[in-house]
């Protein structure tokens, strides 16, 4: 019963926030609706025994990414309401809705058709248990850490390279070119 | 009857599918590049939810590891993407996605 209540409430948050993102005129409202969706997904993560990822979801997505969005909106002063009635291509909206419903319908049909499929599990479990067989309060974090730092340690190191590259690239993109130079000089190299 | 109803993996997968298609519709309908980016985040989150639900169903922590890496890549992607959007909007305030055709070489 408890699980059902959590699922219904979190699902309503997720879908309500998602509709808010695509339906609100104001970019700031869209960003705040996005927070609602991301928080609902974090709740569903907890319901699915992904404790660590739920915490990361709130910290990284709701804490960092949405703040970055709001920062850009405020910084650029694009926080003006958009006229949602402009439609450059006439059939775009109905076509988009049809395609969206088709995607949802197809995927749902596939999910429902395969819901009784045999589970071929056997991977490392979601939690590291106590030697006696009890549950640990941080079992999920331990299991995830064991997987990341053993089987995927190379990928983990590569993500740190990726983050450094992203930071350097963004600083290059966002800085104002000095007088007399463009972002890219004529030889094609970075100025 | 309601008390015995517990959400199964299928429920979570269907919810993720609906969330994903809302993101798809948003990408096709909205013209503000920032909102477009938020819709891409919606789709990423839908896929993350699918991974987590299936990780529990299969009892395999590998799905959660994947979500972990997806989050890192999504953070990097947002940083670079917003940098590009800032550069574009600085040159042309009020640019919509239709104006970005000028990027054509």
SS (H, E, C) chain A: CHHHHHHHHHHHHHHHHHHHHHHCCCHHHHHHHHHHHHHHHHHHHHHCCCHHHHHHHHHHHHHHHHHHHHHHHHHHCCCCCCCCCCCCCCCHHHHHHHHHHHHHHHHHHHHHHCCCCCCCCCCCCCCCCCCCCCCCCCHHHHHHHHHHHHCCHHHHHHHHHHHHHHHHHHHHHHCCCCCCCCCECCCCCEC
Among A55, A82, A109, give the residue marking a domain's end: A82
Q: Does A58 fall in a domain? A: yes
Split into its structural domains, chain A has a count of 2
The minimal CB distance from B11 to the residues A7, A121, A143 is found for A7
Burial class (CB in 10 A: 0-12, 13-18, 19+), A17: buried
Query: Residues of B68-93 as b/e, b for ≥16 C-beta within 10 angstroms?
Result: bbbbbebbbbbbebbbbbbebbeeee
Task: Report the predicted TM-score, pTM, of the whole model to 2 decimal places.
Answer: 0.88
Q: Does A72 fall in a domain? A: yes
Q: Where do the structural domains in chain B lie, given as residue ranges?
A: 31-96
CB contact under 8 A, A72 and B55: no
- Alpha-carbon span A54 to A52, nearest angstrom: 5
- Predicted ipTM of the assembly: 0.89
Selection from A54-58, A138-142, A170-174 with the highest mean pLDDT: A54-58
In percent, the amount of chain A with pLDDT more than 70 equals: 86
In which band, very low, low, confident or very high, does the pLDDT at A106 lie, cut at 50, 70 and 90? very high
Q: Does A96 fall in a domain? A: no
| Amino acid A183: pLDDT | 55
Q: Does A118 fall in a domain? A: no
Whether residue A108 is predicted with pLDDT greater than 80 in this model: the reply is yes
In which band, very low, low, confident or very high, does the pLDDT at B101 lie, cut at 50, 70 and 90? low
Q: Does A175 fall in a domain? A: yes
Q: Does A107 fall in a domain? A: no
- Alpha-carbon span A181 to A174, nearest angstrom: 15
Q: Does A163 fall in a domain? A: yes
In this complex, is the C-beta atom of B10 within 8 Å of any C-beta atom belonging to chain A? Answer: yes
| Amino acid A186: pLDDT | 46
Question: What mean pLDDT is predicted for residues A66-83?
Answer: 81
Question: What mean pLDDT is predicted for residues B72-100?
Answer: 83
In percent, the amount of chain B with pLDDT more than 90 equals: 50
Whether residue B84 is predicted with pLDDT greater than 80 in this model: the reply is yes
φ/ψ of residue A184, rounded to 5: -115, 130
Question: What mean pLDDT is predicted for residues A133-161?
Answer: 88
Q: Which residues of B touch A31 (CB under 8 A)?
A: 38
| Amino acid B14: pLDDT | 94
- Alpha-carbon span A169 to A178, nearest angstrom: 17
Q: Which residues of B touch A30 (CB under 8 A)?
A: 34-35, 38
Q: How many CB pairs under 8 A join A and B?
A: 242
Helices (H) and strands (E) in chain B, counts: 3, 0
Question: Which residues constitute the domain of residue A147?
Answer: 137-179
CA distance A19 to chain B (A): 7
The minimal CB distance from B13 to the residues A77, A111, A159 is found for A111
| CATH number, residue A8 | 1.20.120.1200
Whether residue A164 is predicted with pLDDT greater than 60 in this model: the reply is yes
Question: What mean pLDDT is predicted for residues A57-85?
Answer: 83
Q: Which of B1, B10, B21 to mutate to test the interface with A (most CBs of A within 10 A)?
A: B21
Q: Does A105 fall in a domain? A: no
Among A40, A57, A82, give the residue marking a domain's end: A82
CB contact under 8 A, A37 and B6: no
């Amino acid at each position: 019963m408890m699980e059902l209540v959590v699922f219904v409430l979190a699902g309503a948050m997720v879908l309500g926030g998602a509709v808010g993102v695509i339906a609100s005129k104001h970019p700031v409202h869209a960003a705040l609706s996005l927070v609602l969706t991301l928080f609902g997904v974090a709740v569903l993560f907890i319901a699915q025994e992904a404790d660590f990822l739920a915490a990361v979801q709130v910290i990284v997505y709701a804490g960092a990414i949405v703040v970055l969005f709001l920062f850009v909106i405020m910084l650029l002063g694009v926080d003006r309401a958009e006229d949602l009635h402009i439609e450059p291509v006439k059939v775009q909206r109905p076509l988009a809705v049809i395609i969206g419903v088709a995607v949802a319908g197809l995927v749902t049909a596939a999910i429902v058709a395969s819901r009784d499929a045999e589970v071929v599990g056997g991977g490392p479990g979601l939690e590291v248990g106590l030697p006696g067989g009890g549950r640990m309060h941080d079992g999920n974090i331990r299991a995830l850490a064991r997987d990341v730092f053993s089987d995927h340690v190379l990928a983990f190191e590569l993500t740190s390279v990726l983050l450094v590259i992203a930071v350097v690239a963004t600083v290059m993109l966002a800085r104002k070119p000095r007088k007399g130079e463009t972002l890219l000089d004529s030889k094609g190299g970075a100025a | 009857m309601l008390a015995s109803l517990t959400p199964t993996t299928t429920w979570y997968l269907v919810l993720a599918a609906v969330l994903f298609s809302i993101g798809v519709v948003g990408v096709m309908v909205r013209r503000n590049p920032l909102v477009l980016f938020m819709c891409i985040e919606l789709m990423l989150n839908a896929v993350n939810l699918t991974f987590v639900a299936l990780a529990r169903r299969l009892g395999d922590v590998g799905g959660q590891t994947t979500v972990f890496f997806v989050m890192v890549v999504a953070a990097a992607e947002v940083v670079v993407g917003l940098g590009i959007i800032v550069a574009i909007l600085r040159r042309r305030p009020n640019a919509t996605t239709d104006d970005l055709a000028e990027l054509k070489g």
